[in-house]
Amino acid sequence: MKILEARITIVGAPWRELVFLELTTDTGLTGVGEVRMVNKTDTLVACIEELAPRYVIGSDPFDVERLAWNVQRAEYGRPGEVTQSALAAFDIACWDLMGQSLGVPVWKLLGGRFRDRVPAYANGWYQAEREPAAISRLAKEVVKRGYRALKLDPFGAASAELPAADRRRAEAIIAGVRDAVGPDVQILVEMHGRFTPATAVRVAAVLKPYDPEWIEEPVPPENAAALARVRNATRIPIATGERAHTIADIREFIEGGIADIVQVDLTHFGGFLAMKQLAGWAAAHYLLMAPHNVCGPVGTMANVHLAVATPNYKMLEHFNDFADLWVHDLVDHAPRVSAEDGCFGLPERPGLGIRLNHDVCRAHPRTGGRINLFEAGWEKRGVSQS
């Protein structure tokens, strides 16, 4: 089996653009991958278009080790966000082709079934004014949909410091959400790398009474020593890693005991092959995986397959029930969170088990959509629900 063609489809929403890659083989099979690139769609597309004829067209989709080596080593330049995202698109589509050719779901090739249900947590749901009452009402709706965990960033457009009035507002929002959802629903507090270590420590102390499941990226992601200052000052678990793109990027955080939950993104970390390698290494340090996921249905389905086969997988982020609801229609069998237990079910179709609906994709052309997390009102995400 050889790959003959690579086809890119871009779908636009007010705050994100979804890049789908389809690889077609000489056997008539088509595998699909997806990346939601953060604000640099054209850059990603250029990388895919440059690397595909060099390393993908004419290759056997089973040769993912060689593919990864070519992109990461043969290219000589250090792999980073763009190249690792392009590699992930290739890798995911190749695993889809492997599964289809063998007639089995991808999770069977990644180690088999470890779990039947994949816990999900909600994001993108707090599209409202940054007021406790409004956000608490939306939190109740999340729980009604079956979710047992939800994440929010209550800090507005804060950067470096958080003035006293904003700190009180953030605390009131988290307190309101805790009151709305009860003691058993997990609340995940996103910080988006906003703060200095001193500010992050102060904020963590304020939030501790509301029992957050984790605080996420409390300081910018590059400096392990800075995050260690926060780690040493709070007992709240710390999640980080969504802006790590290679094992080298996350090494200090794992080996130094700084991260409690590893959040690397399947679609920015090179795909399935790299994620399974990382999961094993994280497990050696008794750490759990909770991958970042801002993808549409293809990337989400890929994450579900990974979760099924990965013992130290905690839960999966999910936007598509709350932001841009129509993205479910971009494929024929979109992954869905059950209202009964807040989990994704076990995929049973060969490969990833989904195909793009090109008519729906064409109905949502590129928007140039991007998100600026340091701009007031970013959390409303364009409020695109049609």
Per-residue pLDDT tens over the stretch 77-87: 999 999 999 99
User: Is the per-residue pLDDT at 269 higher than 90?
Assistant: yes
- With H, G, I as helix, E, B as strand and everything else as coil, classify residue 189: strand
User: Is the per-residue pLDDT at 384 higher than 50?
Assistant: no
Q: Which residues pair with 159 in a beta bridge?
A: 161
328 is catalytic: no
Same domain? 55 vs 96 = yes
Same domain? 56 vs 71 = yes
Q: What does the pLDDT read at residue 385?
A: 38
Torsion (CA) 42, 47, 50, 51 in degrees, nearest 10: -150
Task: Tally the domains of the chain.
Answer: 2
Domain assignment present for 382? no
pLDDT tens, position by position, 233-244: 999 999 999 999
φ and ψ at residue 115, rounded to 5 degrees: -140, 155
Same domain? 94 vs 114 = no
In angstroms, the CA 143 to CA 165 distance is 29
**Active-site residue identified among 268, 292, 305, 318:** 292
Q: Whole domain around residue 282: which residue ranges?
A: 108-352
Domain assignment present for 371? no
User: Is the per-residue pLDDT at 356 higher than 60?
Assistant: yes
In angstroms, the CA 225 to CA 23 distance is 42
pLDDT mean over 53-60: 98
- With H, G, I as helix, E, B as strand and everything else as coil, classify residue 236: coil
Contact 30, 22 (CB under 8 A): yes
**Active-site residue identified among 192, 245, 305, 318:** 192
Mean pLDDT estimate for the chain: 97
Same domain? 90 vs 130 = no
User: Which among 186, 263, 197, 264 has a CA at the least distance from the CA of 234?
Assistant: 197
192 is catalytic: yes
Same domain? 211 vs 258 = yes
**Cβ neighbours around 143 below 10 Å, total:** 18
Pairing state of beta strands 316-318 and 343-344?
unpaired
pLDDT mean over 209-226: 98
Same domain? 58 vs 199 = no
Same domain? 169 vs 75 = no
Which tokens is 225 given?
Answer: 């020593």
Same domain? 89 vs 119 = no
- This prediction's pTM: 0.97
User: Is the per-residue pLDDT at 383 higher than 90?
Assistant: no
User: Is the per-residue pLDDT at 386 higher than 80?
Assistant: no
In angstroms, the CA 354 to CA 331 distance is 6
Long-range contacts of 328-332 (CB under 8 A, 24+ apart): 328/297, 329/357, 329/360, 330/11, 330/18, 330/20, 330/296, 330/297, 330/298, 330/356, 330/357, 330/360, 330/361, 330/364, 331/297, 331/298, 331/301, 331/355, 331/356, 331/357, 332/357
Residue-by-residue DSSP string for 22-52 = EEEETTS-EEEEEEE-SS-HHHHHHHHHHHI
Which tokens is 158 given?
Answer: 């804060």
Domain assignment present for 358? no
CATH number, domain containing residue 217: 3.20.20.120
Q: What does the pLDDT read at residue 138?
A: 98
Same domain? 193 vs 217 = yes
Domain assignment present for 363? no
pLDDT mean over 97-126: 98
pLDDT mean over 345-363: 98
Domain assignment present for 381? no
Same domain? 207 vs 301 = yes
pLDDT mean over 214-225: 98
In angstroms, the CA 10 to CA 108 distance is 29
User: Which among 302, 211, 325, 282 has a CA at the least distance from the CA of 21?
Assistant: 302
pLDDT band at 382 (very low <50, low <70, confident <90, very high): confident
% of the chain exceeding 70 in pLDDT: 99
Q: What does the pLDDT read at residue 150?
A: 98
% of the chain exceeding 90 in pLDDT: 97
Domain assignment present for 378? no
